[in-house]
Structure 1
Amino acid sequence: MTNSQDRHMTRIAIAGAAGRMGKALIESTHKNPDTALGAAIVRSGSSLIGADAGELGNVGKLGVAIVGSLAEVVDQFDVLIDFSSPLATLDNARVCAAHNKPVVIGTTGFSVAEKAELLAYQTQIPLLLSANFSTGVNLCFKLLDLAARVLGEGYDVEVYEAHHRHKVDSPSGTAVRMGEVLAKALERDLDKVAVYGREGQIGPRPADTIGFATVRGGDVVGDHTVMFMADGERVEITHKASSRLAFSNGAVRAAIWLQQQTSGLFDMQDVLGLR
């Protein structure tokens, strides 16, 4: 049997450790035989600072104290996984760029200016951004591209997504990414053809639109369905997540892969070899 000390362990820092995804990431990092939790970061002033991160992730004491700033622990990790907030992610990216640390980013909701600043760091360090880290969802992105190209203009396209009541952005980053994949395959400009709501006497459906429907409620982890609808038939591609571990396991897998890269911008399609 190979002892864990005989192989390289990727030390992972988790930003946004107190959130739902942060806790799942602690669990995934602890359970993966090739990774170890190096640091856990929460917002400054949090009452959790100083507590053991393993207890936050429900995996027992790990001897890793929660901190309120990434700058405090720059020597304790190899790769940062950040599922925090746009401003916090930008701050953390600056720290990582200054210390040559790769960053896996699951944060959504960046403004155009914030996204531009973030992407600029790809010339200094490896960045991996993904709307969704699930292996199954990323396979769906590939299937959607194929389906859109095969079915073509004769099918109406609609994207449905459902999430828990606490989700603050709409539509989800995954749904938007699905729309981007569809628009590219169909040679459309998503900014011009996306429809995010319908109400009243709206008239017949324009043929080139891509519709989005959003549902929020309960504890739904994440459901996504894309429908291709034509006269006489309907094709649906669906993914349903039952646990956040589907996403956190993928993010940890991405962190291991990203540590081997030089500067550049990547996503889960690169990690999974789906290009």
Structure 2
Amino acid sequence: MAQFGIIGHKGRMGQAIAAAIEEKGHDFRVGVDMGGDPKPLLDQCDVVVDFSSPAALKTNLEAAKAAGIPILIGTTGLEEEHFVLLAEASKAIPVLQTGNTSLGVTLLAHLVKEAAAALDPDWDIEVLEMHHRMKVDAPSGTAKLLGEAAAEARGVDLSDAMDSGRHGQTGARREGAIGFATLRGGTVAGEHSVIFAGLEERITLSHSAENRMIFARGAVRGAEWLLGKAAGRYSMEDVLDL
């Protein structure tokens, strides 16, 4: 049985993770929320899961380093500056950061990478996602994760290939672009599709999240896997040994 800390534990994902921790027979020891200082609390934990906000990432990483415990980060909306912080922290502790903790999405990203590598560049790639009306960032972290999988397979940088701002007279589709379309509404937990559009044929790889507990269970699975690992940067693909 491991002692878990959750940063952002009063949020919807935090509550789901607490339930998943109990479901797996672990101990939810510490919860930290906005304005709380995690540093004096994480000494009680074996591992911490962070689903808070990008603004809190630096403080949370410093707290995990001070406690000498692994951290799994499922916070989305991260920018380049945050990835620098993650790389620095991973020199001292095990760090797993992902745009989606679902095991199904992890496998989907793997399949997207394989498809993008196997298909010729004249197959256009489009990423479509839909989430509930309360989601604040777009495209979703999962959509970016899938786009990054496709970009990596094609040997390009997603920041160069990404096309997510189509409106008005855009002209023909840019060669080599990886397109993104975002939908928001209702209570959708998460829908993602990657479309490979060739000449007179299409392949669509999709994942549907029916309940946020799939993300919570995946986060707990990832946190369990981090226990006992050496300092370093890890992904959900490592958890599934893909």
- Shorter-chain TM range is over 0.9
Q: Structure 2: how far apart are the matches of 1:187 and 1:132?
A: 22
CA distance in 2, matches of 1:184, 1:73: 39
2:16 corresponds to which letter in structure 1?
A
Q: Distance in 2 between matches of 1:186 and 1:200?
A: 28
Contact 1:152 1:186 in 2 (8 A): no
Report the residue type matching 1:219 in the other structure.
T
Q: Deviations over 1:138-168 (max 9, x none)?
A: 0001100111112221211100000111111
One-letter amino acid of the counterpart of residue 243, structure 1: N
Matched to 2:31, the amino acid is A
Aligned equivalents of 2:57, 2:22: Cα separation in 1: 23
Q: For residues 186-236 of structure 1, give each alpha carbon's deviation from its aligned partner in whole angstroms, at most 9, with x where no partner exists.
A: 122222221102122222212311100001111111100000011221100
Q: What's the counterpart of residue 104 of structure 2?
A: 136
Once the two structures are superposed, residues 42-84 of structure 1 have per-residue CA deviations (whole angstroms, 9 ceiling, x without a partner) of 123xxxxxxxxxxxxxxxxxxxxxxx33223223211000000
Structure 2 unaligned blocks of 5 or more: none
Alpha-carbon shift at residue 36 of structure 1 (Å): 1.4
Pairwise CA distance, 1:20? 1.0
Matched residue type, 1:197? G
Q: Output the amino acid matched with 1:71.
A: K
For 2:149, which of 181, 191, 200 is the aligned residue?
A: 181
SS at the partner of 1:154?
coil
Name which of 15, 33, 37 aligns with 1:42: 33
Q: Are positions 1:146 and 2:138 aligned together?
A: no
Counterpart of 1:15? 7
Which amino acid in 2 is paired with 1:126?
P
CA distance, structure 1, for counterparts of residue 9 and residue 161 of structure 2: 37
How do 1:53-64 residues align onto structure 2 when only pairs under 5 Å count? none
The TM-score normalised by the length of structure 2 is: 0.96
Please tell me the residue identity of whatever aligns with 2:66.
Answer: A
Identity of aligned residues (%): 41
State how far apart, in whole Å, the 2-side matches of 1:75 and 1:182 are. Answer: 39
Distance 1:78 1:246 in 2: 22
Structure-to-structure mapping, 1:118-129, within 5 angstroms: 118-129=86-97
- Paired residues, number: 242
Higher relative contact order (CA 8 A, sep 6+): 2
Q: Distance in 1 between matches of 2:79 and 2:113?
A: 26
Q: Is the 8 A contact 1:158 1:228 kept in 2?
A: yes
Letter in structure 1 aligned against 2:30: A
2:21 maps to which of 29, 36, 45: 29
| AA matched with 2:196 | F
Structure 2 Cα separation of the partners of residues 202 and 99 of structure 1: 51
Q: Counterpart of 2:130?
A: 162
| Equivalent-residue separation in structure 1 for 2:57 and 2:154 (angstroms) | 33
Q: RMSD of the TM alignment (CA)?
A: 1.2
What TM-score, normalized to structure 1?
Answer: 0.85
SS of the residue 1:145 aligns to: helix
Contact 2:94 2:226 in 1 (8 A): yes
Aligned residue number for residue 254 of structure 1: 222
Larger displacement relative to structure 2 (253-262 or 200-209): 200-209
- Whole-Å separation in 1 of the counterparts to 2:192 and 2:87: 27
Contact between 2:131 and 2:184, CA under 8 Å: does it hold in 1?
A: yes
AA in 1 matched with 2:83: K
Q: Secondary structure at the match of 2:40?
A: helix
* Partner secondary structure for residue 153 of structure 1: coil
Q: Is the 8 A contact 2:99 2:141 kept in 1?
A: yes
For residue 30 of structure 2, give the secondary structure of its aligned residue in structure 1: strand
Question: What is the distance in 2 between the residues matched to 1:110 and 1:147?
Answer: 26
Shift of 1:260: 1.7
Amino acid at match of 1:271: V
